Each structure stands twice: as C-alpha cells, then as structure tokens.
C-alpha cells in the first residue's frame, strides 16, 4: 500500500506539467531581419561597424601556426562557435535596439533573453551566483562528510551508521558538477557548454528524485534500491541522449525538469508531515522555498536592464536553500545514527 501515495504524487506532478502552458519557443530567432543579420555576419565577420577576429577563418581557410592542439578540427570548431556566438549577440543587440525604438517589447532568441555582456561573460550575474552556489554546495558537502566520518560514532567495524551516506555523497558531487557547468554555460553559451549544463542539471534532478524516494520510503536494501532507481536512471539517460543527440528542446526539458522537481518536493513534504521527522520544519521551509524558486524558472521575465532575469534570481534563491538542505542532511544523519547506535548498544 506504500505505493499509492507515491503514484498520486507522480500524477499530481504530471497535471502541473500539463497545466504549464507558459513555455513556448522563442520568436526572436524566427525574425527574418535577425536571421539575415546572422547569416551576413557569418560570411563577412561584421555587424554594422563591428568586425570579429574569430570569423576570419571563413575567408582565409586554415588557422596559421600555433601548437598542434590548437590546429583543426578542435580549433576551427571553437572559432566557428565563437564567431556564431559573437554574430548572434551583436545581431540581437542591434535588433533589440531597433525594436525598442519602435516601442516593441523584448523577445527571446534561441530560447533565451538577451543579456548585456560584461568583460567576456555573457550573463555575469548568473555566473557569479553559480560560483557562489558551487561554493555553498562544497561547504555543505564537506561539513556533512566531517560530521559522518569524524564526529558521529562509527560501528565496531569502523563503518558509519547512517544508511544514506553514499547517496548524499553522490548528490553532493552531482550538484557541484552541475553548478560548475552552469557557471561555464552562463559565461559563454555555445552548443557544447549548453549541452553539458543541461545534461548535468537533468542528471542532478534525476538523482535527487531517487534520493527522495529512497529516503522517504526508507529503502535500505540494495536490491530494492536498484529496482527503484533503474527506471528513473533509464528515463533520465534517455532524456539526456534525446537532448544531446536528437533535439535540444527547451520547452520539453523544462517540463521534464519541473515534473521531476515537483515530484520530489511533494515526496519530501508529505514524508516530513507523515513521519514527524525531528527536522520537519527545515524540510518544509526547503520545500516551500524550492517550490517558489521553481515558479521563477517557469514564469520568467525579461532581464532588468539586460542584467538580472528570473533565472538569475532563481540562482540567488538556491543559495540559502542549499545551506538549509545540507543542514537537513546533517540532522537526518545525526538522528538516524543516534537511534541506530542506541539499538546497537
């Protein structure tokens, strides 16, 4: 019977996704003036009065000299990406300024709003916040590690009592990996960095869903853990392969991420309420905060002064939530360890 609330939660998550109709494709990149501008720029390397070095390769062919690792094809590929990214950026700037003069509202290009670059960072605010998130994740994970291995009692065979240590460790590594690629992606978005960012974020969300299910349903047996996580891993792998090899569909990806996000928030919330976990209040604050933060990802608005958008704010809200989340993980470890340690005595 333990299965029925779980399926109800999944069903609810699915309904939320179906109701989410605010996600549509961007229209800026369908604009013929913008398209022509990018096409022209990739040929000539210039937009308006600005010309880019990276686009030179198209006219002179092979790159000159340099160490072997900078020779084609990697070097050429990178140049091509850089050229396209610069062309798009300057064409977007020109087009948005034209539209603004005519009283038009900002539109999205390639699924994203236009940001003003600072130095060579494409979205400086999101880069800084991603780096901060990475630091907080690292701090949380290290303090969890120290608690488990150095502060809490160990079994006579020098193992820790807490049964979810391995899962939290993997979670910590996946989150740090995800924030690292998030910072890289927001620095310069090209196809490769985008795919790495999306894939690592989906992997993290998928794994945290597994963590939520295993913890909430107290799945401690190895075989049951494999049985529960296999379908989630299969689904997440298929989704990542689909995004990378077939179609990088933003709308679909947001829906998949929101579905996995909503499912785990509901699992944690229901579990905290039902089990009267000693740290239930932390869990609830994290769940409500996580839910509100998710709204920022769904109902995004154009960046304020082309700098701060809903996505950047979302990265800001995840900083206190991450801190709280690791604090919950540590409480849970202490709580389980003390009850198991008492039993063992």
Site of interaction with Zn ion (CB under 5 A) = 182
In this complex, which beta carbon is closest to Zn ion, that of residue 229 or of residue 318? 318
If the CB atoms of residues 85 and 182 are measured against Zn ion, the closer one turns out to be 182
When the beta carbons of 193 and 229 are compared against Zn ion, the nearer one is 193
Least separation, in Å, of the C-beta of 182 and Zn ion? 5
Least distance (Å) from Zn ion to the CB of residue 121?
A: 13
Distance set, CA 66 to CA 62, 69, 70, 75 (Å): 11, 8, 6, 10
Sign, Cα dihedral of 159, 339, 216, 134:
negative
Closer residue to Zn ion, CB minimum distance, 121 or 335: 121
At its nearest, how many Å lie between Zn ion and the CB of residue 9?
26
Q: Which is nearer to Zn ion, 133 or 279 (CB)?
A: 133
- Torsion of the alpha carbons at 181, 185, 190 and 191, rounded to the nearest 10: 40
CB of 186 to Zn ion, least distance (A): 6
d(CA 7, CA 262): 13
Smallest distance from Zn ion to CB 179, Å: 9
Instruction: Round to whole Å and give the CA distance between 153 and 150.
Output: 8
Residue linked to tokens 């976990």 = 277
The residue among 83 and 293 lying less far from Zn ion, judged by its C-beta, is 293
Contacts with 161 (C-beta within 8 Å, 6 or more apart), sequence order? 152, 153, 154, 155, 336, 337, 340, 341, 344
Find the length of the chain. Answer: 345
CB of 309 to Zn ion, least distance (A): 10
Contacts of 66 (CB under 8 A, 6+ apart): 75
Q: Closest-CB residue for Zn ion?
A: 182
């Amino acid at each position: 019977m333990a299965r029925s609330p779980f399926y109800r939660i999944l069903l609810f998550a699915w309904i939320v996704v179906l109701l989410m109709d605010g996600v549509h494709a961007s229209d800026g990149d369908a604009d013929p003036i913008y398209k022509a501008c990018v096409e022209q720029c990739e040929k000539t390397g210039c937009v308006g009065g600005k010309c880019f070095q990276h686009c030179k390769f198209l006219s002179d062919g092979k790159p000159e000299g340099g160490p072997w690792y900078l020779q084609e094809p990697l070097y050429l590929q990178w140049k091509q990406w850089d050229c396209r990214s610069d062309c798009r950026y300057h064409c977007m700037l020109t087009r948005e300024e034209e539209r603004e003069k005519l009283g038009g509202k900002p539109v999205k290009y390639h699924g994203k709003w236009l940001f003003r670059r600072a130095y060579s960072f494409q979205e400086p605010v999101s880069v800084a916040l991603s780096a901060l998130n990475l630091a907080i994740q690292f701090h949380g994970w290290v303090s969890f590690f120290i608690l488990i291995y150095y502060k809490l009692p160990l079994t006579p065979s020098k193992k820790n009592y807490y049964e979810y240590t391995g899962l939290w460790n993997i979670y910590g590594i996946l989150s740090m990996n995800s924030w690292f690629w998030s910072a890289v992606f927001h620095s310069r978005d090209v196809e490769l960095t985008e795919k790495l960012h999306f894939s690592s974020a989906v992997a993290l969300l998928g794994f945290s869903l597994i963590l939520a299910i295993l913890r909430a349903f107290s799945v401690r047996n190895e075989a049951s853990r494999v049985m529960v996580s296999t379908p989630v891993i299969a689904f997440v792998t298929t989704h990542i392969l689909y995004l990378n090899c077939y179609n990088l569909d933003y709308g679909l990806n947001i829906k998949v991420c929101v579905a996995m996000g909503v499912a785990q928030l509901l699992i944690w919330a229901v579990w905290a309420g039902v089990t009267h976990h000693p740290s239930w209040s932390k869990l609830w604050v994290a769940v409500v905060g996580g839910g509100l933060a998710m709204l920022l990802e769904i109902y995004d608005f154009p960046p304020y002064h082309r700098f701060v958008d809903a996505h950047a704010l979302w990265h800001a809200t995840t900083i206190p939530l991450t801190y709280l989340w690791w604090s919950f993980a540590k409480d849970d470890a202490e709580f389980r360890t003390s009850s198991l340690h008492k039993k063992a005595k």
